[in-house]
Amino acid sequence: MKVLVLCTGNSARSILLESILNHCSGGRISAYSAGSHPTGAVNPGALAQLKTLGWPTDGLRSKSWDEFATKDAPEMDLVVTACGNARDETCPVWIGAPVSAHWGAEDPADVSEPPEAVRYAFSEAYTRLRKYADAFIALPFEDMDRDALQKAVREIGETH
């Protein structure tokens, strides 16, 4: 299962969810992330959160979704947006995705000080995104048809 996680800046939430899916799926998922307006750098808070888990951060980078719109790009099975639900935030839309879902989380990159608040914001975002990922990983998605998968991933976003 190839999953593309989109967010506006591709510096925090989408990076966290990409890492969670890759690390926790036992090889069942190849996750990627991108942004409609990438910041160009992974937020240090996201890297710190992943390092506290002992997870690798090599190769993580903020990149444009244009990299996944070329003919040589991997064909995605699922596109997930991870922008917040509670604010007036523009969330990117991926045209032509076979299955899509919105698994929202508030942007921990909005918190810049004090350091304890930054760590807390990233921990909270990680916890929320991990709930979505765990629910998805628990699905027998290899055996689901498109309609069942679409229904299941939308329900994950609505109930977690």
**Total structural domains in the chain?**
1
Q: Cβ contacts of residue 156 below 8 Å, gap of 6+?
A: 101, 103, 132, 135, 136
Q: What is the CATH number of the domain that holds 93?
A: 3.40.50.2300
**Residue 110 structural domain:** 2-159
Residue 144 confidence class, pLDDT cut points 50, 70, 90: very high
In percent, how much of the chain has pLDDT > 90?
81
pTM, two decimals, is: 0.93
- Using one digit for the tens of pLDDT, what is the confidence trace for 74-107? 889 999 999 875 444 566 666 666 799 999 999 9
pLDDT of residue 86: 40
Residue 51 confidence class, pLDDT cut points 50, 70, 90: very high
Q: How far apart are CA 160 and CA 158, in angstroms?
A: 6
Residue 34: strand pairing partners: 6
Q: How far apart are CA 141 and CA 135, in angstroms?
A: 11
- Using one digit for the tens of pLDDT, what is the confidence trace for 11-22? 999 999 999 999
Q: How far apart are CA 112 and CA 130, in angstroms?
A: 22
141 has a pLDDT exceeding 90: yes
Give the neighbor-by-neighbor strand order of the sheet with 30-35.
Answer: 30-35, 2-7, 78-81, 100-102
Q: Share the mean pLDDT of the chain.
A: 92
